[in-house]
Chain A
């Protein structure tokens, strides 16, 4: 991060980003593995998110210098794509489908139930850190909606009751 220069004539000081050592190692490992592939930035962001659960904002300068890109470029890509998280996730991430085929079988009602019973809105995490909630626009499960993906596992025909079971299971597992 660049510190604001307090007065004219003072050279801005570059403070090394405060990325914890373990995260720094993980990011560097991902970059080393993938930086030579064509169009490396997307695979690297996926790699970092797979390793850390999100892409910490302090990882941006590190990735930028590894790829010889500007921070603005990396930040621009990171912020364009809905899937990349800028905040650490809860222990489980639930992606709730908001799209038309699921709407036709009750997704709007389910969405209200989900937000109410978790006590959070989209892009938030429950107070106990168990569940993060994200919207998604189609999971390819359109004949068996309403649909939710819990971590990477698809769930179909999700009624409010079934949703409560899934939450209970998620809370019970680590």
Chain B
């Protein structure tokens, strides 16, 4: 048995606050003291305010310290942290940290626990059991399990995954594709990144199962360029899985073939929309396609294609392994299972919270988040990315459930929550929503391409008080036109953050709000 097993995350966010420097300092200090250690670079536990988090294995379990800076490392050695001894930064057993203990980690079961580069570690932690179960089923039976689990797409639109898969299975073609949407463009989200960096094999397993279920033999992961660490982790894992026969011409000796490749995006938010993504994968401008045909019938290169988000696909292995009921027993209403929530922005304890649907915003913001980072009152939150509505305090008791959010004109989207304190200027946020739409518009339709630029101008005049009442009518009209006349959700949903800001925070737009609740 070698020396102490020490974990320092390799997660990009952890690196951004110095995890590599801490890892180096630990290695150097251990060598200097002649202490034998084994350093593992794991994924992040998602307790971001505690990063860089350092863990050490003890007989009682893993003990955590954080946030650690390189200049505290010598000190930690003095205190005997390699044996889990007490220190000012000592947080006790990692699993007992309330933020983590209160979660239901299904999709994220291994993230932060295993070495993401080690297939052996994956297998030792129940990896590839879903694929083995799937290999014993015929395609229709796999699809039925995914359908019965109630799993809905986690990329934003919440479409039932099983129904999409069934369409691809039922469409005969010589070639079909599985495309993983790893474009993760929404501000306030990083759960895809955490999975790809922290447990890439679970995504690979999920995609392989999707291939078996639908008859697709080639998969692509369309990854945003902004995630170079995820790119490396995926390439390493794909190579290891191929080497060990989990990918390739004969998946685990089944005679079934499934190949997988990563492709990079190039900084276009619109390429997260599935038809635009397919255009981009084909080597074209990322412009939206008219639907129909659905990608499930004529997708990549005109072939039947499953397009699913990273989290959707990464949730499939546990459904196949533990069974339909295990998964669907979590959640409320028609929102079954768990949602990896990302608590972000101006919040004290920001991080990844995987919970069954049904938790309220208020619990997340205060019980988990501990209020704002600045210590000031929380004034607004934006849920569901740049196209999601801004919610005021009076709506904080809303439960995380697709339908409950839809009922208040909001959306859960990819599960990102961005917190703002009372210094926020909601007119500036509304203006930014329009500006973002103008920057990212694919240019195919006028309400989005021109309406967004008009929107910025109208908000500027409204705030400047130039004939404010008229500007407000104009803004609401413009929003209605965008909602009704846009081809896709970029133009069609941008009005939601704008109008919600205007309705809930009229005081930020100047005095007058004459028309209420249009659009």
Contacts and interface: CB of A to CB of B under 8 A. Distances in A.
A76 B225 CA distance: 19
Interface string B363-395: 000000000010000000010001000000000
B268 A100 contact: no
A169 B299 CA distance: 46
Contacts of B344: 101, 142-143, 145
B419 interface: yes
A139 interface: yes
Interface stretch (A2-10, A25-33, A125-133, A153-161): A153-161
A138 B16 CA distance: 14
Interface string B422-444: 00100001001000100110000
B226 interface: yes
Nearest to B284: A77
Contacts of A100: 187-188, 345, 382, 386, 418, 429, 432
Nearest to A136: B226
Contacts of A83: 225, 265-267
Contacts of B418: 100-101, 104, 142
Interface in B409-426: 416, 418-421, 424
A39 interface: yes
B326 interface: no
Given A142-B345, A154-B12, A104 B424 contact: yes
B268 A80 contact: yes
Nearest to A76: B285
Contacts of A142: 187-190, 342, 344-345, 350, 416, 418
Contact of A143 (B192, B266, B269, B350): B350
Nearest to A134: B267
Contact of B227 (A40, A41, A140, A145): A140
Contacts, number: 150
B347 interface: yes
B300 to A, nearest CB: 8
A64 interface: no
B280 interface: yes
A41 B264 CA distance: 11
Contacts of B420: 104
Contacts of A110: none
Nearest to A139: B226
B373 A155 contact: no
A43 interface: yes
Contact of B17 (A95, A102, A156): A156
B228 A152 contact: yes
Residue among A39, A101, A145 facing the most chain B CB atoms (10 A cut-off): A101
B81 to A, nearest CB: 23
Interface residues of A, number: 41
Interface string A71-88: 000001100111110000
Contact of B193 (A40, A41, A140, A145): A140
Contacts of A154: 12-13, 15-16, 229
B255 interface: no
A99 B322 CA distance: 38
Contacts of A45: 266
B351 A138 contact: no
A124 interface: no
Nearest to A138: B187
B386 A99 contact: yes
Interface string B349-370: 0110000000000000000000
A39 B429 CA distance: 38
B226 A149 contact: yes
A23 interface: no
B288 interface: no
A145 B284 CA distance: 33
A46 B231 CA distance: 14
A147 B432 contact: no
15 contacts: A39-B282, A40-B283, A76-B285, A81-B265, A95-B226, A99-B436, A100-B386, A100-B418, A101-B188, A101-B344, A137-B440, A142-B342, A142-B416, A143-B48, A144-B16
Interface of B: 12-13, 15-17, 48-49, 51, 184-190, 192-193, 225-229, 263-269, 280-287, 301, 342-347, 350-351, 373, 382, 386, 416, 418-421, 424, 429, 432, 436, 439-440
Chain A to chain B: the 8 pairs with minimum beta-carbon distance, closest first: A143-B350, A156-B16, A41-B283, A81-B266, A83-B267, A99-B187, A142-B344, A104-B345
Given A147-B16, A154-B16, 11 more contacts: A42-B283, A46-B225, A83-B225, A84-B266, A101-B188, A104-B419, A137-B187, A140-B190, A142-B344, A143-B344, A143-B345
